Structure 1
Amino acid sequence: MTARYPIAIEQGSERTAFGIVVPDLPGCFSAGDTLDDAMMGVEEAVAAWIDAALDAGDTIPAPSSLGIIQADATYSGWTFAVVSVDPGLLDDTIERVNITLPRRVLKRLDALARAAGESRSGYIAQLTLEEPRRIA
């Protein structure tokens, strides 16, 4: 089931960007010169926030009702909407996969996994989880 998190949108102008916050996800926000830019950014920010929280072993808060956020004086004068979260982002179910690699690459992968004290699957997962940090 898709989760829908309420968002609060601060209107932009010719001199200021549109700002969007996700009150249920502390520190999750976006900004953009246009509302479309800010909305695309908030979708990415929510995905990144959830991914980082899961990596840290944190619990993902359930979405509040839109009415609760609208009643919060912090957001007086703001516009409200919701952002949908792909349920796959919240799913840590183990799934078996089949990959095809040349033997020489597989041997190298297994050696690296052994050296790291990991299983092949664990090593691939570790590399995948670390990769975004290397890019950032």
Structure 2
Amino acid sequence: MSKKDLQYYLDLPYRIVLHPADEGGYVVEILELPGCLSQGETIEEALEMIEDAKRAWLEVALEEGIEIPEPARDTEEYSGKLNIRIPKSLHRILSEKAKEENVSLNQYINYQLSRGVGYPTKRSL
């Protein structure tokens, strides 16, 4: 078995978490690498900065012989189908909003859920 080097870890799909900072801009971190975080004025800058922070974190860990966690592997499979129960009044409001936007109820709910969790969307509504 070959020794895992810096490039090996840089190529792993670590999950990056980005959220607005209270003072403005964005905070970005890699949860699997404790303390690996950075900031940026824009989303793009924050994402560039976390790459620098990740490289530095990994370099120090390799030099110090610190165990480097690898990204968690998804073991569950997701079908993309979700059945939920909602109040009739909410169902009505969602249906009305979808009609106003001239999209299906499914598209409208998908878009709103994506926005709510910060998932990238293409605004087509």
TM-score (norm 2): 0.49
More strand by share: 1
- Kindly indicate whether structure 1 or structure 2 has the higher relative contact order, using CA contacts under 8 Å at least 6 residues apart: 1
